[in-house]
Structure 1
Amino acid sequence: MSGFIKGINRSQSTLFPESLNDFVHAENTVRVIDVFIEALDLAELGFTGVFTKSTGRPKYHPAVMLKLYLYGYLNRVQSSRRLEIEANQNIELMWLLERLAPDFKTIADFRKNNAKGIKHVCRTFVELCREIHMFDEGEIAIDGSKFKASNHKDNNYTPKKMAFHIERVEKHISNYLEKLDRADEEQHSPQTIKATQESINNLKQKLAELKTLEKEVKAHPEKQISTTDPDSRLMKTQGMTRVVSYNIQSAVDTKHHLIVAHEVTNTTDRGQLCPTAVLAQHALKRKDLTVIADKGYFSGQDIKDTQDAGMTPLVPKGDTSGSDKKGIFNRSKFTYDKEKDVYICPNNSQLMPGKTRTKDRDLYLMHYRARVKDCRHCSLQPQCTKSATPRKISRWEHQDRIDNMDKLMKKRPDLMLIRKQSVEHPFGTIKCWMGMTHLLTRRFKNVRTEMNLHVLAYNFKRMLNIMGNQGLINAIKATI
């Protein structure tokens, strides 16, 4: 085998360095993890077990466990069993943990019992980034992404699915009853008849369970129940696929792509703009934020609430009227004249305001109608309305705010590209680190803790890429 690089004989004695420190070079990431965790006041952050009694069996210090988890999430090792294996064979972890190797149960219990502390560590790192001026631009992008829950689709029930299962079981019972009738006529063996009867009894028991579950599903406010992880929900993902998942909301800095704030939800994006933006305000300790989001967040009231909180939301509106499909002019073809309080149609006729307004959800709408004589003799009527009545336009009482927002957005045609490049980057990275699989934990409390660790690891890695190992160590020592 000449011409190849040759290895060392496995039976040959080798003199390894006596110190673990010699195995970990000065630029190794574990040195930054060690400096960061050692600088934290874990008792103040809410970790349990920081102070121990003089009697009893010694326990692992929370700093040891936190170092293990941060290293694991940075290196795509999130499960407690795999972390146990790594602690026993990974030289970097041996250095970081000083040769300590907790078992998987201890590792899992630490994550379960220290949700508050882990959340505060995640916030502390964002605070560190803020103090070294990483968020001076004051512009964030908000989006949600579906993370598959630890709940199989078969264990999620909706009224439609319940009706399908009940119908199928009833059909099986009917088939078995017919089989039982034929068995009497054809004089089958007692064993066959007994087996058939047992199958019928089992199916009847299953039917009773399904009907009980059906009542629970119909009584549920969201008309669905997940039996493995009750907090997860069946939601549409990309390509209209339906997956049992959580919708993770995040606010990301558009300059450095750092996650400023995040929240775990089980609803759609609609209505999440202001709550997520307010979380970002608290994290950055400033109100005058510019908030960019896609059309899935468009809600008049939500945009108004965001503006009332001191922020500048920039959210495009999708055309949901269906006018284009009907072959008629959509709303954008009508111009509002604020001074006269009228709408101008494509044929330069005026739509006058009505005398009453209506309430749609929480919004009060004023209706503007064309005059009958203008509409009846208009050459563009077939393109304007399919109804016998004149064309009507509805206007929200705070529509001026939306119009002003639209003017700001026209000055920045690259907004949606900036949003996409900013907020979708972290989601893709975290899902890649997860291995494109489901969340490891269940229920809101535990999933939030898991996401806090993911966000902490992502931000940590991002800062290492921006500042370098020594630069981040210096920032930690100067700030925390």
Structure 2
Amino acid sequence: MLNSIVDRLDVSQVLASYKGGGNSCFHPRMMLKVLLYAYLNNIYSSRKIERQLQEHIHYMWLSGGARPDFRTINYFRGKRLKDSFDAIFTRVVELLHSEGFVSLEVQYIDGTKIESVANKYTFVWRGSIETYDTRLREKTRRILSEAEEVLEMESHETRPDEELSVEEFQARTSRIKEKMNSTDVPKKIKKAVEKTAKEYIPKMLEYERALDIMGKRNSYSKTDEDATFMRMKEDAMKNGQLKPGYNIQIATENQFITNYAVYHRPTDTLTLIPFLESFEKRYGRQSRVVVADSGYGSEQNYEYLFGPNLIPYVKYNMFHQEQKRKYKKNAFLVQNLFYNPKGNYYVCPMGQYLFFIREEKRKSDAGYISQVSIYRAAKCLGCPVRGLCNKAMGNRQIEVNHTLNRYKEKIRYMLNSEEGIFHRKKRPVEPEAVFADIKEAGKFRRFRLRGINGVGIEFGLKAIAHNIKKIAACRGKYGFGWDNLQKVISNYAKNPFLKHEGSLRVA
């Protein structure tokens, strides 16, 4: 089955990367078959794949007797597939769609963290870099100012708190050294200036480069600069160690992977919008239904989801708590206070009014600005139930995001609808079951390639292998050939809320 699927793929983009001439090379279609079969059998090391080509009859048949060594296998996986693998994965999903395995009308989205090949003790932290850089700049400033004072030179700082660039520190140090060559200065000052030029300035450049590599992240690894330190669930020490890794996002349908992406951010919230955009870019269309857990529920995401023609079933973090009796019976919670929209005030259980005070703007880590309304009670002193309502010293003050509350009201209604309950029940057995198959059954818990491109290729190979295994499992269960298999496992029969809209046409 794997052989017939790969034969149907377009590998012209991979072939175009070969310039021709020189020694003979192995055909990329054969190399792709060998790699996919290895990932299908949970073999990820290029040396082990080389050994299988020498010992295992199935690998020999797929390779036609060819025996590429581990360097060739690794080079093909990491370099040759770099610019073309995304199109190969897309073509596989298109085949699934054409055969009726997936409709591409629904995405069940979830994420997981997978460890990088980098050493876990090669961390670089933003907080430490910024602290050391600030101290070093202050020390350098004092040394140069003292030297300029001794040499009776004019300082090039316009004000004491001016932030100088590394280039300005370098130029300033060079001017001082030139002046010192023609003037007698104390040995202590001369030694300090020379140390600044040889040690402090290069260290500043090193800190500057580290911050450039880090970008908006809080950490990175020295041996895999694209990896970010995250807390992994698969921690052998059971103490929540931070390890270099990547956040892998996938979309599934009928437990087939229809889209995947690799992100630096350890949290899922800010990955949803770029992930949905990657799905649209991949297939030239967007799915009708998006289903995700509470890790994706935010005002920014809801604003995007309710914009285009999408039907979102994306929970927010308090959705399940709101269904409990304890939550509903707590009259002091902000969500349970009576609100008068006309007068724009809240009323506490004791009849105290919380009047509108002001509006504030809050900026998220992604730069999204939300509007928060502040309300404050007039007199809480002497209230007999104050301990249950408010533990602050003064009058009770609450913050309300009315826009987010309106989105939550819409989502709550949709999630409790018949279709919403259907998708909520199906979501845990979609992406989570796929991750279990990949990480637990497939023993795929750590990448072998470095960099976000290499990681994307490696997970993509595992994703295609997973999809092929699902096809084979269905074929073995029902005993049908490829051409008739879709009649049995058609997602339209499994999902009563999706409607057939014809075949996919990729833009």
Measure how far apart 1:432 and its partner are.
3.2
Q: Retained in 1: the 8 A contact 2:17–2:80?
A: no
Hey, what does 1:462 align to over in structure 2?
470
Query: What is the CA RMSD across the aligned residues, in angstroms?
Result: 3.8
Please name the residue that 1:105 is paired with. 71
CA distance in 2, matches of 1:472, 1:303: 40
CA contact (8 A) 1:232 1:246 kept: yes
**In 2, distance between residues paired with 1:99 and 1:479?**
38
Within 2, Cα distance between the matches of 1:288 and 1:107?
36
Equivalent residue of 2:474, what SS? helix
Deviation at 1:336, TM superposition (A): 4.4
The CA distance in 2 between the partners of 1:283 and 1:77, in whole Å, is 28
Give the Cα–Cα distance (whole angstroms) in 1 for the partners of residues 430 and 406 of structure 2: 29
Code of the residue aligned with 1:260 in structure 2: it is T
Amino acid at match of 1:41: D
Q: 1:428 aligns with which of 433, 436, 439?
A: 436
Q: Which residue of 2 aligns with 1:127?
A: 94
Q: Which residue number in structure 2 is paired with residue 276 of structure 1? A: 275
- What residue is the counterpart of 1:448 in the other structure? 456
- Correspondence for 1:24: none
Aligned to 1:382: 387
Deviations 1:341-367 (A, max 9, x none): 54454446554444x421101334242
Which residue pairs with 1:18 in the alignment? Answer: none
Answer whether contact 1:115 1:446 (CA < 8 A) is retained. Answer: yes
Aligned counterparts of 1:472 and 1:224: Cα–Cα separation in 2: 47
Q: Is the 8 A contact 1:217 1:223 kept in 2?
A: no
Measured after TM superposition, the shift of residue 138 of structure 1 is: 3.1
The whole-number CA distance in structure 1 between the counterparts of 2:22 and 2:208 is 51
1:413-456 Cα offsets, whole Å, 9 max, x none, are: 57655332211111122223653542000011111111111111
Q: Do structure 1's residue 304 and structure 2's residue 273 form an aligned pair?
A: no
| C-alpha separation in 2, matches of 1:52 and 1:128 | 29
Aligned partners of 2:351, 2:474: CA distance in 1, in Å? Answer: 56
Distance change >3 Å, CA 59–CA 303, structure 1 → 2: same
User: How far apart, in 2, do the equivalents of 1:287 and 1:347 lie?
Assistant: 50
Paired letter, 1:152: N
Question: Which residue of structure 1 aligns with residue 247 of structure 2?
Answer: 247
Distance 1:39 1:278 in 2: 27
Q: Deviations over 1:149-175 (max 9, x none)?
A: 011111113267789x9xxxxxxxxxx
> Structure 1: 5+ residue runs without aligned partners?
1-31, 166-204
Displacement after TM superposition at 1:330 (Å) = 3.2
Kindly indicate whether the alpha-carbon contact (under 8 Å) linking 1:87 and 1:101 is maintained by their aligned counterparts in 2. yes
Cα pair 2:332 2:348 within 8 Å, conserved: no
Indicate conservation of the 8 Å contact 2:40/2:466, yes or no.
yes
Gaps spanning 5+ residues in structure 2: where? 133-197, 234-238, 320-326, 487-502
Deviations 1:192-224 (A, max 9, x none): xxxxxxxxxxxxx99999998667656754343
CA contact (8 A) 2:361 2:372 kept: no
Greater CA drift, 244-253 or 285-294:
285-294
- TM alignment of 1:81-480, pairs within 5 A: 81-111=47-77, 112-136=79-103, 138-158=105-125, 220-221=214-215, 222-238=217-233, 240-253=240-253, 256-267=254-265, 268-283=267-282, 286-287=285-286, 289-318=288-317, 329-336=332-339, 338=341, 341-347=344-350, 351-354=354-357, 356-361=358-363, 362-373=368-379, 375-376=380-381, 379-387=384-392, 388-397=394-403, 399-411=405-417, 412=420, 417-432=425-440, 435-468=443-476, 471-472=481-482
Q: Secondary structure at the match of 2:101?
A: coil
Q: Secondary structure at the match of 1:36?
A: helix
Name the amino acid aligned to 2:248: I
Q: Contact 1:281/1:289 (CA < 8 Å) preserved in 2?
A: no
**2:481 aligned partner, one-letter code:** G
- Normalised to the residue count of structure 2, the TM-score between the two structures is 0.68
Distance 1:282 1:339 in 2: 44
Q: What percent of counterpart residues are identical?
A: 23
1:250/1:160 Cα in 2 relative to 1: closer, same or farther (>3 Å)?
same
- Residue 80 of structure 1: aligned partner: 46
User: 1:85 Cα deviation (Å)?
Assistant: 1.2
- Residues 6-25 of structure 1 correspond to what in structure 2 (within 5 A)? none
Q: What is the CA–CA distance in structure 2 between the aligned matches of 1:290 and 1:103, rounded to whole Å?
A: 45
Q: State the match for 2:492 in structure 1.
A: none
Please give the per-residue CA displacement for 1:107-156, whole angstroms capped at 9, x wherever unaligned.
11211222232221111111122223333483322121111001111111
C-alpha change, 1:339 and 1:134, in structure 2 (3 Å) is farther
Displacement, 1:409? 1.9
Q: Is the 8 A contact 1:135 1:284 kept in 2?
A: no
Q: Following the alignment from structure 1 to structure 2, what is the Cα–Cα distance between the partners of residues 106 and 415? A: 45
Pair 124,436 (structure 1): closer, same or farther in 2 beyond 3 Å: closer
